[in-house]
Amino acid sequence: MPARLHFTLATPVDANAIFDLVYKDPQPFLKSATLSDVQDWIANGSCWIVRDIGGAGIIGACNIRVPETNRYDEPEPAEFGGIFIHSEYRVRGISDALGVLALASYFWDNDPESPNPIPIISHVHVQNPDPLGLLARLGFVFDKNVPVPRGTPGFEHMPVDENGQLWGKEFRWPPEGRIHLFREMAKLLATQQIDKYGVCIVPALAMVEPELERLATHLEGLQTQQ
């Protein structure tokens, strides 16, 4: 089947289309962002998209905020910013595949053989159940509820509790989750089909099935040594 959906890193020419798809019309549980924010994510190599080359253009986007690091301080966690898919394409496989590509690319580029990678977390509004199934399938586990400081940019439009406090659920990624993740990424590269769509996955540089399996096996070995 010819590839119709292309999963890949976003490029600068995609910024306006991503902004129009995800952020132009505010969503009650989605942190707001500007076109400049989207352009920064693309420049940092931390925004992935799904493109329907049959005519609809960009139909999904995902970003991961990667913290700056130095040799003196413990790094802040990276943050999985969630996934937005056009309403006509919300079959389970597309959002799952985009999440696997983004997370596998992040861990691939950030010391993939380490037993203790830079942590990654994700946040969901306490009143929003929609992303919970996807986060669980991707490997995130619930950690705790966290308050969002009043006045934090991007959250002004979100529902608050009776005391005016905004709360989010914080999810964390267990390091051993990379074993399953790398094998799911290898499966995506091999299968080239999701639901009724032929797909083309453009992975991170040098990301190939044998190396993904080698990494998964290496991480399994580390786990048995603990």
The two tokens of residue 211 are 């190396």
- CA angle centred on 74, ends 71 and 77, rounded to 5°: 125
The two tokens of residue 120 are 């990654």
Which range among 8-22, 55-69, 116-130 shows the weakest confidence by mean pLDDT?
A: 55-69
Taking only the tens place, the pLDDT of each residue in 90-139 is 876 899 999 999 999 999 988 899 888 888 999 999 999 999 999 999 99
pLDDT of residue 222: 84
**Enclosing H/E stretch for 190:** helix 177-191
Domain ranges of the chain: 5-113+177-225
Overall pTM > 0.95: no
- The number of residues making up the chain comes to 226
- Average pLDDT over all residues of the chain: 91
> Are 200 and 3 within 8 A, CB to CB?
yes
DSSP 8-class letter at 27: -
For the chain, what is the radius of gyration of the CA atoms?
A: 18
Residue 96, amino acid:
D
Taking only the tens place, the pLDDT of each residue in 134-166 is 999 999 999 999 999 988 999 999 999 999 999
Residue with tokens 């079959």: 91
Distances (CA, A) of 120 to 38, 77, 78: 20, 5, 4
pLDDT of residue 226: 64
Percent of the chain residues topping a pLDDT of 90: 71
Residue 167, amino acid:
W
For 5-113+177-225, CATH gives 3.40.630
